[in-house]
């Protein structure tokens, strides 16, 4: 048996538990315990007078005490769990807030990066355009200067050739005039040794008093006439032949130079056509335009390269090879760079497509196996049912 104080302890504990449960909304009415609320508990009993007196024993006392302790412990556990849950919720909310702030920051940074990229692309495009215009202008200027220089060289070469021809003509004419002058004075143009002079004091081998000509063999009838008149006419004929030959050589050289200038003009026009085509084609293959790339909008060589412009005769000037080949070589390098980039992009896209195709095939195979397994299961159930029917039929 327990004393009065022990009952007060149970009463105080029950009040604490009831207050806690009601305040937290777990119950709306107080819990009843036999030790302290026995009269209320037996109000609906049929034999209320027989149950009127309750003797508080250890077992009923310990039962109420354990129930109160368990309820109180459960409320404390619930409070701790709620506190932990609240702390976790606050931490999650804080993390969500941090994540949202970081996402906004990332979005802002992405917008900034996108803006920087656009500015960079515009700057690069503008710089590239300005540099291209400057290079084109300088190339045209250099080309013009090179043409002028080549023209001056050709003119100088032609003048030098004409000068050499004229000098040779003059030399031939001077030689002919010297021969005529020597023949007129009866002087030999060769060096003679131990020959008699024209002095009257010396003995003359010509007793008839005729003029002495060393080119004539006297006292003989010559087969070939070596007289001065014959020599003069031969010199004039050789001068005319030499002049004719030099004129023919000069004419051939002029025709050769003219043909070379025509072929150089065609070659330069061809290089310029190729360079313009590659410039337009590379601009379409650039990184900034590859997303809008379409086969129908690509530059077609048959539309861009005009054979009539290539065969047009602009042979008044000669284009140096280095000024026409460098832009074309640069465009060839750019074309290789852009084409290799497009090949890498196509290869990566093809690899992704093949991977997606393999996944689709795996899903189809799995679905097919599932259907076969289901059909096998149905057949197995049918076989078992048929066996059971046979057994029952055989038993009957």
Percent of the chain with pLDDT over 90: 1
The residue behind tokens 């080949």 is 325
Instruction: State the average pLDDT for the chain.
Output: 73
Mean pLDDT of 117-127: 82
Q: Kindly tell me if the per-residue pLDDT of 287 is higher than 60.
A: no
Which of these, 193, 180, 186, 226, lies nearest to 210 by C-alpha position? Answer: 186
Confidence of residue 310 (pLDDT cuts 50, 70, 90): confident
Residue-wise pLDDT for 1-38, tens only, equals 444 446 888 888 888 888 888 888 888 888 888 888 88
**pLDDT at position 199:** 42
| 218 torsion bin: left (phi>0), alpha (psi -120 to 50), beta (else) | beta
Q: What is the signed CA dihedral for 47, 49, 50, 55, rounded to 10 degrees?
A: 130
**pLDDT at position 352:** 62
Q: Kindly tell me if the per-residue pLDDT of 56 is higher than 70.
A: yes
Residue 89 dihedral angles phi and psi, to the nearest 5°:
-60, -40
Residue-wise pLDDT for 313-351, tens only, equals 666 666 666 666 777 777 777 777 777 776 776 667 666
pTM: 0.31
| DSSP letter assigned to residue 316 | T
- Which residues, 6+ apart, have CB-to-CB distance to 301 below 8 Å? 277
**pLDDT at position 350:** 67
Tokens of 262: 């025509």
**pLDDT at position 306:** 74
Mean pLDDT of 279-307: 69
Residue-wise pLDDT for 94-115, tens only, equals 888 989 899 999 988 989 888 8
Which of these, 318, 342, 343, 327, lies nearest to 277 by C-alpha position? Answer: 327
Helix, strand or coil, per DSSP, at residue 315: coil
**pLDDT at position 99:** 92
Q: How far apart are alpha carbons 145 and 127 in whole angstroms?
A: 26
Mean pLDDT of 67-85: 89
Q: Contact, 22 vs 30, CB < 8 A? A: yes
Higher pLDDT, 112 or 49: 112
Q: How far apart are alpha carbons 373 and 273 in whole angstroms?
A: 69
Q: How far apart are alpha carbons 41 and 29 in whole angstroms?
A: 14
């Amino acid at each position: 048996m327990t004393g009065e104080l022990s009952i007060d302890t149970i009463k105080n504990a029950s009040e604490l538990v009831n207050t806690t449960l009601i305040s937290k909304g777990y119950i709306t009415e107080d819990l009843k315990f036999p030790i302290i609320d026995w009269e209320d508990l037996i109000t609906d009993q049929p034999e209320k007078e027989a149950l009127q007196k309750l003797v508080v024993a250890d077992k009923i006392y310990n039962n109420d005490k354990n129930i109160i302790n368990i309820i109180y412990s459960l409320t404390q556990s619930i409070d701790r769990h709620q506190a932990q849950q609240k702390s976790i919720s606050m931490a999650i909310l804080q993390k969500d807030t941090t994540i949202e702030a970081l996402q906004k920051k990332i979005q802002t940074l992405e917008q900034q990066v996108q803006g920087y990229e656009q500015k960079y692309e515009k700057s690069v495009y503008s710089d590239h355009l300005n540099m291209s215009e400057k290079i084109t202008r300088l190339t045209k200027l250099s080309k013009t200067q090179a043409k002028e220089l080549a023209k001056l060289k050709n003119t100088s070469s032609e003048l030098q050739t004409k000068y050499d021809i004229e000098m040779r003509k003059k030399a031939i004419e001077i030689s002919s005039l010297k021969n005529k002058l020597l023949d007129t004075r009866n002087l030999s143009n060769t060096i003679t040794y131990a020959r008699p002079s024209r002095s009257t004091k010396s003995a003359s081998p010509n007793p008839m008093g005729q003029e002495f000509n060393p080119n004539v063999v006297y006292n003989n009838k010559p087969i070939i006439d070596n007289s001065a008149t014959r020599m003069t006419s031969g010199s004039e004929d050789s001068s005319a032949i030499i002049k004719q030959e030099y004129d023919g050589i000069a004419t051939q050289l002029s025709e050769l130079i003219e043909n070379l200038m025509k072929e150089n003009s065609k070659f330069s026009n061809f290089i310029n056509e190729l360079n313009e085509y590659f410039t337009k084609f590379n601009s379409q293959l650039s990184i900034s335009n590859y997303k809008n790339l379409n086969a129908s909008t690509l530059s077609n060589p048959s539309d861009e390269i005009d054979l009539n412009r290539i065969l047009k005769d602009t042979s008044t000037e000669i284009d140096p090879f280095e000024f026409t080949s460098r832009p074309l070589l640069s465009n060839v390098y750019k074309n290789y760079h852009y084409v290799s980039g497009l090949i890498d992009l196509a290869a990566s896209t093809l690899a992704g497509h093949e991977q997606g195709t393999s996944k689709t095939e795996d899903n189809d195979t799995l679905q097919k196996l599932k259907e076969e397994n289901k059909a096998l299961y149905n057949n197995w159930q049918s076989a078992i049912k048929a066996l059971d029917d046979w057994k029952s039929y055989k038993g009957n």
